[in-house]
Structure formats: structure tokens, C-alpha cells
Amino acid sequence: MRILGIETSCDETAAAVLESPLRVRSSVVASQIADHQPFGGVVPELAAREHVKALPTVLSTAVAESGLGWEDLDGIAVTRGPGLAGCLLSGLTAARALAMRLDVPCYPVHHMEGHLLSLFLSGESPEVESLCPALLLLVTGGHTALVRMEGPGRYQVLGRSIDDAAGEALDKGARVLGLSYPGGPEIEKLAATSVDGEVAFPLGLPSGEEARKRGGDFPFSFSGLKTALRYHVEREPEGDRAEVARAYQAAVMGTLARRMEQALEVYDDWKCAACVGGVAKNGLLRSELERIASRRHLSVRTVPLSYCTDNGAMIAAVPLLRAVEPLAAPVGAEPNLPLMGVRLR
Ligand code: KG4
Ligand code: ZN
């Protein structure tokens, strides 16, 4: 089976052609980062218009680079939600029109499930049985969750953030530090120029009944950290920004790593651990995970950097890895789509 995957939920216009057994034949990502940078964040209306402009080229390039023709496609997969309404709608409309024209099914995909299944998108041919149960840290711009994956379609959320997502904390923190959007890579670059220092921020590990009710057994919290950063910068406006960036990044990644470590201890049948989503590109987070897992002789699955941030390959992977009901009638975008009844935030 050959599937064209389309992703337009935020600021990347992306398409990819995948086939089963799972193999990426092509993957094209047109980033809008430069368009939004002057505004310090994603402008929804601008993003939706840019998707409409970019889609024809991104789609035809993905098909051309796959070495296949349009007629070779067996289905179209598209992000239905969560995401920005206008952005989702541009991808969804293109996908439905294409599916109708090619007379193939159109599969609606949950963006976060795409991120989870990016686990299977690395070079070697992945055996589901050899990787699951997998402990996945899902870290994107809008979501932070710890997920136990028994296999494609079988997810248990062990913990989630009770306020901001880790990516959001990095993006907002970057603004406080006078860095540009997106904040994660900017903070990582600046932090790399500082070796050590006195500055330290607390980890975001809430406890108690209320935190468990809202965040599960492994709750995260990042809004206090962001406030601590703001106070610090106000108190010491002339302080070394690189040192502050290093400490802030250490607190975000330290929080994520600590929860992963705790979740690894609770179950003893893990086959692998991995980070997925844009924040999984972070070098410090990757090395922390290596450290934690190696202590338990557990293998770490590294998702290629290009499949951490938003891409079409992870969307096409979903209907290739599990049965997805195709769209029967026109549907709207779902900005707050739940994942198979599971609340991610
Ligand atoms: O998964 P993604 O591309 O989009 C969403 O679904 O939200 O994730 C975007 C997030 C942003 O918050 C961005 O700052 C963060 O990923 N990010 C990073 C790095 N690269 C991107 N965070 C930390 N370190 C990085 N190198
Ligand atoms: Zn994403």
C-alpha cells in the first residue's frame, strides 16, 4: 500500500509518500518559520494562507521525489486535528479533493498519534513486537505527555502537563530572553555557549491529589518555571544570558528526564524508550534519555531529527500501521481532537 501523507496543522506545510512494509519514499517540508519570526510566534491567519500557497508545490514535489505517479497512490492521509483551525482546513480540503480526484480513500489522522508513530520511522525496518511496550515522551509545542504504547492504536497516557507544554515553555522563555521563534533551538544554541554557572531553576514536578487528577501519575508543570525565568531576568537584567539559557534548558529537560526515569521504574516490561515531537530534537534531552536508559540496559530508539518536528511521513505512517476508518462524508477540522477518547492536555 502507498499513502500520501499531508500535514498542515501549524507552521509547516508537509507531504510524504510512504509504502508498506513501512518505508519513506519521499518527505518534503516547507517551513513557514521565516514568515512568522517578525511576529515572535505563529500568526494563524497568515499560516493558513501560506499553506494554501505552498500545498500544490509541496504535494507534487513529494510525489515526484517518490518516483511514483499520482495513479500509484492507494490513499491520502491528512491531519484532522489538533491544530489551528484554518491551517487544518487547508490541508483537509486539499486531501479530500485529491482523494476524490484519484478515487482513493482519505484517512483522517490525529497529529499526536503521528508523532507517537514516528517511533517507527527510522532507517531499520521496525518490528512492532520488538519495540513495544514503548515508553514515549511526547514533547511538542502544545503538548507534553508520557505515553505507554502497547502497539499502534494502543496508547495509555501515564502523565501530562497540568499547564504549559515543554515546547511552549521554551518558546515563551526564549521571548523573555530576547531570542526569536521557535524558542527551543534558539535556547539550545545560546545554552551551548555557557559551560557552567551559579544560576539554577527548579524542576516542574508537581505532587499531590490535584496534580494527579489533572496530570495523571506523572504530572509535569512548566508555567512556574517560566515565571521564575521572568523574575530572574527582571532582577538581573545585566546577567549572562547564555548562563540563564543553560539553566533554563537544564530545568526543562531535567523535569522531562526525571518523569521518564520514574515511569521506567514502575513497569518492568519496557522494550524501548524514546522521545518524539519537536522538543525531541534537543541534544540535552537525548543525552539524558541515553543516560537513564543505559542504567537499565534498555534500548533508546532515536527518531531521526527530520521526523521530530512536524512532517508528512508521520501522518502517512498511521494508516499504514493500523486500520483507520476513511472519511465517508465531508468533515470539518477538529482543533481540539481527542486521541481515541484519551485526553492529552
Ligand atoms: O512537534 P512540533 O514541530 O510542532 C508541534 O506539534 O507543536 O514542535 C515544535 C516545538 C517548538 O516548541 C520548538 O521550540 C521545539 O519544538 N523545538 C525544540 C528544538 N527544536 C524544536 N526544542 C528544544 N530543542 C530543539 N532543538
Ligand atoms: Zn507536531
For residue 337, pLDDT over 80 is answered with yes
Instruction: State residue 9's pLDDT score.
Output: 97
Instruction: State residue 8's pLDDT score.
Output: 98
For ligand 1, the distance from its centroid to the CA atom of residue 106, given in whole angstroms, is 28
For ligand 2, the distance from its centroid to the CA atom of residue 135, given in whole angstroms, is 18
Instruction: State residue 330's pLDDT score.
Output: 75
Q: Relative to the CA of 310, which ligand 1 atom is closest?
A: 3
Backbone angles phi, psi at 335, to 5 degrees: -55, -25
Residues 160 and 76 in one domain: no
For ligand 1, the distance from its centroid to the CA atom of residue 301, given in whole angstroms, is 18
Instruction: State residue 128's pLDDT score.
Output: 86
What pairs with residue 19 in β-bridges? 2, 23
Spatial contact of 325 and 113, defined as CB atoms under 8 Å apart? no
Residues 151 and 250 in one domain: yes
| Nearest protein CA to atom 7 of ligand 1, as residue | 141
Distance CA 77, CA 60 (A): 15
For ligand 2, the distance from its centroid to the CA atom of residue 312, given in whole angstroms, is 10
Residue 247 is assigned to a structural domain of this protein: yes
Residue 329 is assigned to a structural domain of this protein: no
State which of 79, 175, 279 you would mutate to test the pocket of ligand 1, scoring each by most atoms of that ligand within 8 A of its C-beta. Answer: 279
Burial of 267 (0-12, 13-18, 19+ CB in 10 A): exposed
pLDDT band at residue 339, thresholds of 50, 70 and 90? Answer: confident
Distance CA 19, CA 120 (A): 13
For ligand 1, the distance from its centroid to the CA atom of residue 138, given in whole angstroms, is 11
For residue 161, pLDDT over 80 is answered with yes
Return the sign of the alpha-carbon dihedral for residues 290, 345, 307, 129: positive
Residues 147 and 134 in one domain: yes
Distance CA 131, CA 321 (A): 14
Q: Relative to the CA of 170, which ligand 1 atom is closest?
A: 14
Distance CA 315, CA 293 (A): 28
Residues 284 and 139 in one domain: yes
Residue 258 is assigned to a structural domain of this protein: yes
E strand map for 55-184: 75-81, 106-110, 134-139, 144-151, 154-160
Instruction: State residue 324's pLDDT score.
Output: 97
For ligand 2, the distance from its centroid to the CA atom of residue 111, given in whole angstroms, is 6
Residue 331 is assigned to a structural domain of this protein: no
Residue 342 is assigned to a structural domain of this protein: no
Instruction: State residue 74's pLDDT score.
Output: 98
User: Which H or E run includes 173?
Assistant: helix 166-176
For residue 52, pLDDT over 90 is answered with yes
Instruction: State residue 331's pLDDT score.
Output: 78
Ligand nearest to the CA of 345: 1
Residue 344 is assigned to a structural domain of this protein: no
| Ligand 1 environment, Cβ below 6 A | 10, 140-142, 167, 170-171, 182-185, 188, 277-279, 281-282, 309-310
Residues 215 and 157 in one domain: yes
Spatial contact of 40 and 180, defined as CB atoms under 8 Å apart? yes
Picking from 159, 196, 4, the residue whose alpha carbon sits closest to that of residue 94 is 4
Distance CA 99, CA 330 (A): 12
> The pTM is what?
0.95
Residues 237 and 137 in one domain: yes
Residues 282 and 269 in one domain: yes
Residue 8 is assigned to a structural domain of this protein: yes
**Number of domains the chain is built from:** 2
Residues 254 and 160 in one domain: yes
Q: Relative to the CA of 83, which ligand 1 atom is closest?
A: 6
Instruction: State residue 195's pLDDT score.
Output: 85
Question: What CATH number has the domain bearing residue 227?
Answer: 3.30.420.40
Q: What is the mean pLDDT of the chain?
A: 95
Percent of the chain surpassing pLDDT 70: 99
Residues 37 and 152 in one domain: no
Distance CA 82, CA 88 (A): 8
Range of lowest pLDDT (22-26, 35-39, 217-221): 35-39
Residue 58 is assigned to a structural domain of this protein: yes
E strand map for 20-126: 23-31, 75-81, 106-110
For residue 342, pLDDT over 80 is answered with no
Could you read off the pLDDT of 260-299 as tens digits, one per residue? 999 999 999 999 999 999 999 999 999 999 999 999 999 9
3-state secondary structure of 194: coil
Residues 92 and 152 in one domain: no
Instruction: State residue 255's pLDDT score.
Output: 98
Residues 68 and 185 in one domain: no
User: Which domain range does residue 137 map to?
Assistant: 130-303
Residues 172 and 288 in one domain: yes
Could you read off the pLDDT of 112-160 as tens digits, one per residue? 999 999 999 987 766 888 999 999 999 999 999 999 999 999 999 999 9
- Residues present in the chain in total: 345
Could you read off the pLDDT of 307-334 as tens digits, one per residue? 999 999 999 999 999 999 999 877 788 8
Could you read off the pLDDT of 196-248 as tens digits, one per residue? 889 999 999 999 999 999 999 999 999 999 999 999 999 999 999 999 999 99
Instruction: State residue 125's pLDDT score.
Output: 63
